[in-house]
Each structure stands twice: as C-alpha cells, then as structure tokens.
Structure 1
C-alpha cells in the first residue's frame, strides 16, 4: 500500500516577506490508519505533490525534481528521525538566518509549523543531498539552506511535509 496511499488536503506558503527571500511550505495529507512510518514516507515520495521544484508560487509537477534535489537521489533511507526539540531549534535558527521573525510571522510559524512538530507522533528530517543529488539550476536553498521535515500525526490522521528554504 504505497502508490495513492496519501490524499493531499491543502498546501500553504508562509512567505517571510522581510527581504530575506525565506519561506516555509507546508503540505498536508490524510494519513491512513495503519500505514507505518516507512510506508508513509514511501507514499509521500511517490505523490505528485512531492515533485515540486519550489521555484515558483505555483505548485506543479516537476517530474524529476524536489526542491534543490533530483528525485532519483531521494529515498526513504534519506530521512532520519529527529526529536521535536531538535527540529524546532533547527527551524528557529534557520528562520533567524537573516533577521529574527516579527511577532506576526512568529505567531504564524508557531501555529502552522511548531505546533505540528510538537504534537507529531513521529518526525523525520531529510538529509542534505546537495552533494549527492543536486538538481541543475535550482535557486532553492542557496543562502540559508533547506530544512525538510515530515511529521506524522496519527491522532489527527495527518502527514505534514514542511520545507523551509530561500530562493
């Protein structure tokens, strides 16, 4: 049970709009009961919504690319578990790479990202694959880097893909 195992609910973009070119994309999927962590990650990798270059405000099937990486270089093994506190710390450091977020942006990050990290049953961090699977001509992650998390919240029946980067 992998192909078609996830149903995309919605996507949101948190644009920092502070001159940093930073943004956070959050894509939400229904997480079927009984789908294990590895199967959920495999289903995400197979989903068309994962094939996003993030080089445009429009979400579209990038066929062979995910952000700054070639899809062929990403596998379930590319993800490692991460503790909630570590994920939050990494994103807070990333968010302040250029300038600390203002109150309104901080509240939005808390509501849409940090709260999801806190309640998730399992959290996974995608490894930095810029050396092993770089996508040609990708502007994504050129300065502040890329932080990609997959959050599994079985109570809410939700898988959240969080991609934080700049362009």
Structure 2
C-alpha cells in the first residue's frame, strides 16, 4: 500500500476519532483534535524531514521550561528514535478556521505527525496537543 493509502486507512480507523481534550476515542465521533473529521484527507499531510518533525516537537515541549529527565527519556524512546528510522514522516498542515469544530479552539497547540516505518511494518501517530 502506498503512503496515501496508509494515511487514508489511519484517518478511517475508529481510534482516529479522538478530540485530544480528555474525552478519549469516540468510535462514532465526528472530531479529530480541533478539526471536524470530515475535512481531514490524506492530501493534507505534508511530507517532512526528520529535522523538521523534531523541531515541531521540540518547539511544542520547550515552553515547559524544565523538561524532566523522565519525560526526555520517554520522548527519545517513544518519538525521536522512531523519527530516526521512519521511511516517511507526515505532518498534518494547519487546516484553518473553517475546519475547526464547534469547540476546537480549546486547543492552544495541536501538532500531528504520522511516521511510516515499512521495515518494521509500523505506522505511528504522534499527537502533541494541549488545551
């Protein structure tokens, strides 16, 4: 399956229906993060470099001022090590105001990366969000 097909399968999966505002996955939900699910399509994901993806995540965590050693270790193992071996990295671009759902502005920041690692047979969704 090509990257577009993998992204479409991810978007179609019920676990993608999470608003990341504390409610968890709603199998019949209509929201993904701050956006209406219906507006998200594979062509909105931009292919990015490992450096670009790492910069997005570092800028997201930087305002925490003091990142604990434990968080840094977890991020290295669960995210940055995966970025390094991924065959393709996609970033969901900013979709604009018309894509926001009825209370989507609860998120001050929302970043989504999709990591495709074909040799491991893994597709990883990384969401960095706050509300």
> Normalising TM by the smaller chain, what interval?
over 0.9
Bigger RCO of structures 1 and 2 (CA < 8 A, at least 6 apart): 1
Q: CA deviation at 1:57?
A: 5.8
Given that 2:20 and 2:129 are in contact with CA atoms closer than 8 Å, whether structure 1 keeps it comes out as no
Q: Secondary structure at the match of 1:152?
A: strand
Residue 124 of structure 2 corresponds to residue 165 of structure 1: no
Equivalent pairs counted in the alignment come to 131
Residue 110 of structure 2 corresponds to residue 146 of structure 1: yes
Q: Secondary structure at the match of 2:7?
A: helix
Q: CA deviation at 1:62?
A: 5.3
Q: Secondary structure at the match of 1:147?
A: strand
Given that 1:42 and 1:75 are in contact with CA atoms closer than 8 Å, whether structure 2 keeps it comes out as yes
C-alpha distance in 2, partners of 1:100/1:62? 38
Given that 2:112 and 2:126 are in contact with CA atoms closer than 8 Å, whether structure 1 keeps it comes out as yes
Q: Secondary structure at the match of 2:97?
A: coil
| Structure holding more helix per residue | 2
Unmatched 5+ stretches in structure 2: none
CA distances 1:110-136 after superposition (whole Å, capped 9, x unpaired): 100111111100000001124230011
Unmatched 5+ stretches in structure 1: 1-34
CA distances 1:113-166 after superposition (whole Å, capped 9, x unpaired): 111111100000001124230011136522xx1110000000110000111011
Q: CA deviation at 1:56?
A: 1.6
Runs of 4+ in 1 over 6 A off after TM superposition: none
